Structure 1
Amino acid sequence: MHVLITGANGFVGQALTKHILSQGYVGKGKVSRLTLLDRQFDEVVNSSMLGLVVEQHSGDLADDQWLKDSLGRFPMDVIYHLASIPGGMAEKNDELGRSVNLDATMTLLEICKAQTQSIGRKPVLVFASSIAVFGTMPDLVTDDTPLKPQMSYGAHKIVGEVMINDFSRRGWVDGRSLRLPGVLARPPAETGQLSAFLSDIIRELSQGHTFVCPMSAQAKTWASSLPNIIENLLHGAAVEESKLKATRTFTLPTLCFSMAEMVDAIGSVYQQNANELVSYEPNPMIESLFGRFPPLETPSADDVGFKHDGDLNTLVERALLK
């Protein structure tokens, strides 16, 4: 099995790569070749002892010729399309956001189409969409909730979902779009993600450091641990296509909680007096984007086996696992 990961040097991409290299399987398929794409890599993967071929290609995903040249030599079986320009960065640089989030996705779909038409080998494409597609939300979010994105990033993800559905309908790719919630806990870095504070609060309070939260104690959000997201991505490629007839777009099950509840969980898991360490200074823009999340129901995802962390203490505990 040949597996491709775009955005392989990112937070989720590195964790997915590490898992595949350690286990050697995606679902029941044994991985023989792993291709990793990103703008650059923090380290070179030494595959000599892994029993599979690993290739790392550094370049610009918006360069369609580079993308075609990097992927044109070996047929692909499973594609994880994780690469994107996230919310804050896409707002600041519209051209960059569109070139990566839209143009590169379309180029990747065309590569899948060409492979299917030339050799009859239809790849599975797992697309990392986002809950940013919802934007303004009603009192309850379900599979039928209208999409009203507040940022270009969310709009880009909707376009990706629609085109993956259409290419799947036409038999050119076996696509699955997974709407990821906030993923915890990201390492401290300048990524352009406005939700970085959700990771920072766990890391700082767990170490007994003070933290200023940019949302109110009552603000509610959604999030999952990184291990939970990796489990769902792996499951996303393993689900049989026959089970995807009703929909190919899934809002992943995730936990809904207030910031006060998260602080209590951090205190409980890491034995810190977290309530004395945190202060709340709400930023209206941050709270409007990440702090007004309603309850969530995900029957379509539940039916095909996607899962959340189970409870908030488990999420907090798993969030800092190496």
Structure 2
Amino acid sequence: MHVLITGANGFVGQALTKHILSQGCVGDRRVSRLTLLDRQFDGGLVDQSTDGLVVEHQGGDLADDQWLKDTLGRFPMDVIFHLASIPGGMAEQNDELGRRVNIDATMTLLEICKAQTELTGRKPVFVFASSIAVFGIMPDWVSDNTPLKPQMSYGAHKVVGEVMVNDFSRRGWIDGRSLRLPGVLARPPAETGQLSAFLSDIIREVSQGHAFVCPMSAESKTWASSLPNIIENLLHGAAVEESKLKSNRTFTLPTLCFSMAQMVDAIGLVYQQNANELVSYEPNPMIEKLFGCFPLLETLAADKVGFRHDVDLNNLVRRALFKGH
């Protein structure tokens, strides 16, 4: 089986790559070729080809449609994890770049899949990493039927991707699955353009006994999952049988809803720190509006086909810093 990961050098992409390399399979199918796409690669993702598994790194501009077609036209693909994107803050600052990567590159990938299916009859599974940013302004209760009202370009781009994945699946050109990812914890300290980076920083800093200024109030509520949980759900998304999906190709992943005060308590309990003394609160109105007003969440469609959350907040903060993804 040939697996493609776009955005393979990113936080989630690296963890997914390492998991597939360690297990050698996706679901119950063995992986024989793993193609990794990103603009560039860190030293950590070195060539790890082994007997029976060829790993290929391709560095380039995903917004260059000819490069994508030339790179991916050599070997038929079985599973695609499309993780690459220009995230929220960066997409707001650079509208053209956001659209080229988040919309144009997604469309090029879908067209490549269509051409493969029409030429060979080999229809790839297309796992699209969408985002809870599609919701934007939320009501008091979010379910599978909640209208989408994105408040940032990134969320709007993801809505476009979801619609096209559904349409290409309807036409029989791909076996698509769009997974709306919540905040993923805990990201390493880096300038990624992610406005929600503080949710990772607070776990990393307070777990080490460092003081932290939280940009949201103690009562503000958000959604998040650990990185291992997200990897499990991405792999499940690729492995679940198409017959179980029917016409529904978009899933809001189950995740935990909690207040910042609850998160601080969990960090203190799991890492044996006096967290309430280490954390002070200086709410930023913009940050709190974007990430601190999340309501209760119901994910019946995702639950039904086997997607899962972290069980509880203690488990989330414990797994967030676990290195053996």
Please give the alpha-carbon distance, in whole angstroms, between the structure 1 residues aligned to 2:320 and 2:52: 30
CA contact (8 A) 2:20 2:26 kept: yes
Provide structure 2 residue ranges, at least 5 long, that are not aligned to the other structure.
none
Which residue number in structure 2 is paired with residue 223 of structure 1?
A: 224
Please give the alpha-carbon distance, in whole angstroms, between the structure 1 residues aligned to 2:2 and 2:295: 40
Please give the alpha-carbon distance, in whole angstroms, between the structure 2 residues aligned to 1:140 and 1:287: 18
Q: How does 1:247-258 map to 2 (within 5 A)?
A: 247-258=248-259
Which residue number in structure 1 is paired with residue 31 of structure 2?
A: 31
Count of residues in correspondence between the two structures: 322
CA contact (8 A) 2:89 2:194 kept: yes
Counterpart of 2:141 in 1: which secondary structure?
coil
For normalisation by structure 1, the TM-score amounts to: 0.99
Counterpart of 1:60 in 2: which secondary structure?
coil
1:152-171: per-residue Cα shift (whole Å, max 9, x none)?
A: 00000000000000000000
CA contact (8 A) 2:170 2:247 kept: no
CA contact (8 A) 1:216 1:281 kept: yes
Which residue number in structure 1 is paired with residue 165 of structure 2?
A: 164
Structure 1 position 55 matched with structure 2 position 56: yes
Letter in 2 for 1:4: L
Counterpart of 1:190 in 2: which secondary structure?
coil
Which residue number in structure 2 is paired with residue 307 of structure 1?
A: 308
Which residue number in structure 2 is paired with residue 148 of structure 1?
A: 149
For normalisation by structure 2, the TM-score amounts to: 0.98
Check 1:232–1:213 CA distance in 2 against 1; reply closer, same or farther (3 A cut). same
Counterpart of 2:261 in 1: which secondary structure?
helix
Q: What RMSD in Å do the two structures reach over aligned CA positions? A: 0.7
Which residue number in structure 2 is paired with residue 132 of structure 1?
A: 133
Which residue number in structure 2 is paired with residue 19 of structure 1?
A: 19
CA contact (8 A) 2:47 2:56 kept: no
Q: CA deviation at 1:103?
A: 0.1
Counterpart of 2:290 in 1: which secondary structure?
helix
Provide structure 1 residue ranges, at least 5 long, that are not aligned to the other structure.
none
1:109-144: per-residue Cα shift (whole Å, max 9, x none)?
A: 000000000000000000000000000000000000
Which residue number in structure 1 is paired with residue 198 of structure 2?
A: 197
Counterpart of 2:5 in 1: which secondary structure?
strand
Q: CA deviation at 1:49?
A: 3.4
Please give the alpha-carbon distance, in whole angstroms, between the structure 2 residues aligned to 1:121 and 1:235: 20
Please give the alpha-carbon distance, in whole angstroms, between the structure 1 residues aligned to 2:237 and 2:208: 34
Please give the alpha-carbon distance, in whole angstroms, between the structure 1 residues aligned to 2:90 and 2:272: 36
User: Identity across aligned pairs (percent)?
Assistant: 85
Q: CA deviation at 1:48?
A: 4.0
Letter in 1 for 2:287: I
Letter in 1 for 2:25: Y
Q: How does 1:98-137 map to 2 (within 5 A)?
A: 98-137=99-138
Which residue number in structure 2 is paired with residue 181 of structure 1?
A: 182
CA contact (8 A) 1:128 1:180 kept: yes
Letter in 1 for 2:39: R
Give the ranges of 4+ consecutive aligned residues of structure 1 lying more than 6 Å apart after TM superposition.
Answer: none
